[in-house]
Amino acid sequence: MTSPGLAQISGPNDKGIATPAESFPQEPGSDYFLANYDQYEAYLKKLASQSDKIKLIDIGKSAEGRTMWVAAVSSPANIARLEHYRGIAQQLAKADGISDEQAQALAAEGKAVVWIDAGMHATETVTTQSQIHVLYRMLTGDDAETKRILDDVIILFGHDNPDGLQLVADWYMRNEDKTKREFRTIPRLYQKYVGHDNNRDSFMAHMPETENVNRVLFREWFPQIIFNQHQTGPAGMVVFVPPFRDPFNYNYEPLLMTELQEVGSTMHSRLVAEGKGGSGMRSAAPYSTWHNGMERSVAYFHNSIGLLTEIIGGPTPETIPLVPDNQLARNDEPLPIRPQEWHLADSLEYQWSLDRAVLDYASRNRDRLLYNIYKMGRNGIEAGQRDSWTTTPGDIDALEEAAKGRPAPEATGYFRSAKRVDPGLYDEVLQAPERRDPRAYILPPAQRDAPTTIAFLNALLKNGVDVLQASQPFTAAGKQYPAGSFVVQTGQAYRPHVLDMFEPQDHPHDEEYPGGPPKAPYDITGYTLSEQMGVTYDRVFESVDGPFTKVSGLLGVPEGQIVGEGKAGWLLRHETNNSFILTNRLLKQKLPVSWIKQQTSAQGVDFAPGAVWVPASAKSRAIVAAAVKELGINAYAADAAPTGETMAIKPVRVGLVDQYGGVMPAGWTRFLLEQYEFPFKVVYPGELDKGNLKASYDVLLFANGTVPVNGGPWRGRPVTMPDPQEIPAQYRPWLGKVSEEKTVPQLDRFAKAGGTIIAVGSAAQLATMLGAPLQPALAKTVDGKLAPLDSKEFYIPGAILDAKVDPTAPLAYGVPAEVNMFFDHSQSFNLTGDGSQVKRISWYDSASPLRSGWALGQEKLNGTTAIADVDLGKGKLFVMGPEVTQRGQPYPTFKFLFNGILYGPASAEK
């Protein structure tokens, strides 16, 4: 197609409303220009001052402190009654306390609510520049379709990542020579901590942007459609548009998936009707609907239609390549497009058509959308109040196993070739009593790490889940529970989300073709949050009622206290992550802290190895007394100092390794270090290569992805650096990458001089580079060199595994003897040598360690080592094959990292 030109996009300025062309230094959507967030925000405010069809809503601050705005757009009459229509949307989405007849009346009265966002991934620039024009067009359009949409629909235009837009746009525009403008060389992540993973944070909601958006979507506005816009499109096409490929998550309401296909088909049809070719669906891209961490997919667990588009384009013109396979029309690409030069303005026109298609669908199906979200919520409530079942691949495997040796009915009819089994097995297997879904989950107040349990419950609350708390003791399923227990009933509108957070994911064995290699999932397959966070709970399979109060807002940790009157000092349990915050506060004030190596007791409480000992002083008492109240941990007073062997903990100088452009796991680690108040400095490879590292650091921390993978049995991507002349001088010291030739010798000197190296995920390849007595176990020898196992032999693409732990080892203090470990194409190890240099800290001792997700060849892990403590001269190398800090979710395994930071330097003093 030929670029429409921006004059057509903006339209005439005859409404008293400022056009994009006159409101920005250059018109958004034109070649070689990107509007930044400051300019976008100013335009929003200008539009709000000029039109009665828009209202700005402040939804909170970004990670860097920018205001996040939602622009509510509708007819003036609807804008005047926004709160009324918001209330209707809430009643219908929560589906609680209203009848079908009342729901139908509310649906007839209400307005469809549609969320359309921009900027989630800041280098995907089409969405932000497009939104500016879509807003203008919706506020100035006089055509019948626009008027109908504004009468029927409340549109929430959001921006997911203000900080990223400001960074990327300013970086792109820094160059006076427009032909040299680019954003591939931005120096850091475009969200302060997690970059691209800001769209993997939805069920956890760690980042402020995610929490703000979730609050709008699932606690305040309850849109029936959530449109999350991205780029880039498949090669040789323009845009990917739903429907998606299988598998979808088995917890969803079926009606949601059919509605999703309706809307997707409507979007494709509009493009085709307008002669806009190059849209693809299903097999055109790898997107599935399994993982709960993305904005458009978390929508499905809340009965909202989640849409994702991935479009080409950007401020620098490009060319659509000729891809032969995409020139033959098929169901998944009905109208191919010819290769041609492509401009950002072209993408804006496509995005406008896609937005209009969604809004037109919402308008024409307003009352049906509103009633159906009620219906799905009501189905969830009813399913949680009776016996119900969710069929997963494991159930089908059990069905087929049970069918062996059982006569099947005679095959008749046109589809007589279909496999049939005894129909009696449906009730016997698929609806066996032991396979039914729980009606409730009960979390008693006595938890191994109570503040972590509160964090888990807050993750549910941030997603709009109803959480109850008992004001008095009660009985459920014959068991007595104390006051203060939390109850999460599955009989609620957001039942799919509840089940997904508590129950293991059972991802199907998905093959590229029968007998072929596994088909890569989109993102990860197992992430059950209750399992990752080590929460203690009971599944209850009968209705639960009692003296319960619904939790309002987010929970604070219950205040801790100083227990007892002992004068010598205080003991803290190592099991609570928040004990590290108190430890770091004490160390910051240069106050003594020790770990007790043996079991001990105080105030009638038994402490496992690793209890934290804080000697008493006036200064330490003030810090301990204030911290325990805030952090929800107890300090147990003792009359005498411990008599057993202790390890003195000292302040440490931590270097967190990162690289130019930013590594997301390093960003997640930075976030955790800040949350738990560890002092640290970000270190770049160039500084490592200079050596003399022990003069500046006690600990060097390498997160997954910070050590480039150069073949062998390791997973990762090649690392490329920009030409130094392409970037400002201030960022040039960040260039470089960890190398075996330059960096590893300096790391060897650092460790042997008493330094600690912590290597997580793919960075664990430092073990072989440093000559540690560890051999990659998930490998084979090809032409005399180690190579990865074939994916048909071993394949675990993001899952939760069961691992054993030695909790008497300082690196594992506070970790239970059996822990859930997140494993994503990770490496495991066999110990070599005589064992004097290395200690196994965590390992797999089962042929079937999978707890949640998908694992092929998992038996190959049996007997291998996940985490090892290696002596290197006077120092330590802690090798952690799994991602123990994965996206800030597996709270029990954070302790491996936190212990390593403090234990390594302490052990070097012995």
- Higher pLDDT among residues 866 and 2, named by residue: 866
Q: Is the peptide bond before 788 cis (omega within 30 degrees of 0)?
A: no
Residue 13 has pLDDT above 70, yes or no: no
Q: What confidence category does residue 367 fall into, taking pLDDT thresholds of 50, 70 and 90?
A: very high
Same domain, residue pair 724 and 741: yes
- Residues counted in the chain: 910
Same domain, residue pair 429 and 519: no
pLDDT reported for residue 426: 96
Q: Which residue is associated with the tokens 């491996």? A: 896
Question: Which of 358, 448, 374 shows the shortest CA–CA distance to 895?
Answer: 448
Tell me if 557 is assigned to some domain.
no
Q: pLDDT, tens digit, for every residue of 634-643?
A: 999 999 999 8
Q: pLDDT, tens digit, for every residue of 808-836?
A: 999 999 999 999 999 999 999 999 988 89
Last residue of a domain, one of 345, 380, 415: 380
Q: What confidence category does residue 405 fall into, taking pLDDT thresholds of 50, 70 and 90?
A: confident
Residue 910 has pLDDT above 60, yes or no: no
Tell me if 492 is assigned to some domain.
yes
Beta-carbon contacts of residue 692 (< 8 Å; ≥ 6 apart): none
pLDDT reported for residue 410: 80
Last residue of a domain, one of 604, 632, 649: 649
Question: H/E/C letters for each residue in 129-178?
Answer: HHHHHHHHHHHHCCCHHHHHHHHHEEEEEEECCHHHHHHHHHHHHCCCCH
β-strand partners of 572: 612
For 796, the token pair is 């675990």
Residue 5 has pLDDT above 70, yes or no: no
Beta-carbon contacts of residue 870 (< 8 Å; ≥ 6 apart): 767, 772, 773, 774, 837, 838, 839, 876, 877, 878, 879
What CA–CA distance (Å, rounded) separates 683 from 661? 13
pLDDT reported for residue 711: 79
Residue 406 has pLDDT above 80, yes or no: yes
Tell me if 385 is assigned to some domain.
no
Q: pLDDT, tens digit, for every residue of 39-73?
A: 999 999 999 999 999 999 999 999 999 999 999 99
Q: Give Cα separations from 752 to 212, 692, 735, 872, 877 (angstroms).
A: 47, 12, 26, 5, 10
Tell me if 167 is assigned to some domain.
yes
pLDDT reported for residue 457: 98
Q: The dihedral of CA 290, 294, 296, 302: what is its sign?
A: positive
Q: pLDDT, tens digit, for every residue of 283-297?
A: 999 999 999 999 999
C-beta of residue 485 within 8 angstroms of C-beta of residue 457: no
Which residue spans within 535-582 are E strands per DSSP?
Answer: 538-540, 548-550, 562-563, 569-572
Same domain, residue pair 416 and 510: no
What CA–CA distance (Å, rounded) separates 449 from 455? 10
Residue 11 has pLDDT above 60, yes or no: no
Cα three-residue angle 97-98-101, rounded to 5 degrees: 165
Q: pLDDT, tens digit, for every residue of 322-346?
A: 999 999 999 999 999 999 999 999 9
Same domain, residue pair 397 and 444: no
pLDDT reported for residue 717: 79
Average pLDDT rounded to a whole number, residues 883-903:
98
Q: Percent of the chain at pLDDT above 70?
A: 98
Domain count, the chain: 5
Same domain, residue pair 262 and 305: yes
Same domain, residue pair 424 and 494: no
pLDDT reported for residue 909: 61
Q: pTM of this prediction?
A: 0.97
pLDDT reported for residue 907: 83
Same domain, residue pair 441 and 430: no
Cα three-residue angle 653-650-560, rounded to 5 degrees: 110
- What stretches of 632-727 show up as alpha helix (H) in DSSP? 664-675, 685-690
What CA–CA distance (Å, rounded) separates 386 from 378? 13
What CA–CA distance (Å, rounded) separates 805 from 869? 12
Same domain, residue pair 420 and 452: no
Average pLDDT rounded to a whole number, residues 844-869:
98
Residue 158 has pLDDT above 50, yes or no: yes
For 29, the token pair is 């959507």
Average pLDDT rounded to a whole number, residues 580-606:
96
Same domain, residue pair 51 and 177: yes
Q: pLDDT, tens digit, for every residue of 350-360?
A: 999 999 999 99
Same domain, residue pair 747 and 892: yes
Q: pLDDT, tens digit, for every residue of 479-536?
A: 999 999 999 999 999 999 999 999 999 999 999 999 999 999 999 999 999 999 999 9
- CATH number for position 753: 3.40.50
pLDDT reported for residue 3: 47
| 351-390: b (≥16 Cβ within 10 Å) or e | bbbbbbbbbbbbbebbbbbbbbbbbbbbbbbebbeeebeb
Same domain, residue pair 658 and 746: yes
pLDDT reported for residue 2: 42
Q: Percent of the chain at pLDDT above 90?
A: 94
Same domain, residue pair 455 and 580: no
Tell me if 783 is assigned to some domain.
no
Chain mean pLDDT for the chain? 96
Tell me if 806 is assigned to some domain.
no
Average pLDDT rounded to a whole number, residues 371-400:
97
Q: pLDDT, tens digit, for every residue of 73-86?
A: 999 999 999 999 99
pLDDT reported for residue 415: 72
Q: pLDDT, tens digit, for every residue of 602-657?
A: 999 999 999 999 999 999 999 999 999 999 999 999 999 998 899 999 999 999 99
Q: What confidence category does residue 9 fall into, taking pLDDT thresholds of 50, 70 and 90?
A: low
Residues spanned by the domain of 410: 391-434
Question: Which of 145, 68, 213, 160 shows the shortest CA–CA distance to 355?
Answer: 145
For 845, the token pair is 């001792």
Residue 8 has pLDDT above 60, yes or no: no
For 829, the token pair is 């190890």
Q: What confidence category does residue 719 fall into, taking pLDDT thresholds of 50, 70 and 90?
A: confident
Average pLDDT rounded to a whole number, residues 303-308:
98
For 464, the token pair is 């709009």
Residue 366 backbone phi and psi in degrees, to 5: -50, -60
What CA–CA distance (Å, rounded) separates 275 from 296? 27
Q: How far is CA 688 from the centre of its chain?
A: 31
Tell me if 789 is assigned to some domain.
no
Residue 186 has pLDDT above 50, yes or no: yes
Which residue spans within 639-722 are E strands per DSSP?
Answer: 646-649, 654-657, 681-683, 699-702
What CA–CA distance (Å, rounded) separates 905 from 389? 52
Last residue of a domain, one of 613, 634, 649: 649
448: burial class by Cβ within 10 Å (0-12, 13-18, 19+)?
middle
Tell me if 823 is assigned to some domain.
no
Q: Is 638 helix (H, G, I), strand (E, B) or coil?
A: strand
Residue type, 798: G
Average pLDDT rounded to a whole number, residues 874-883:
98
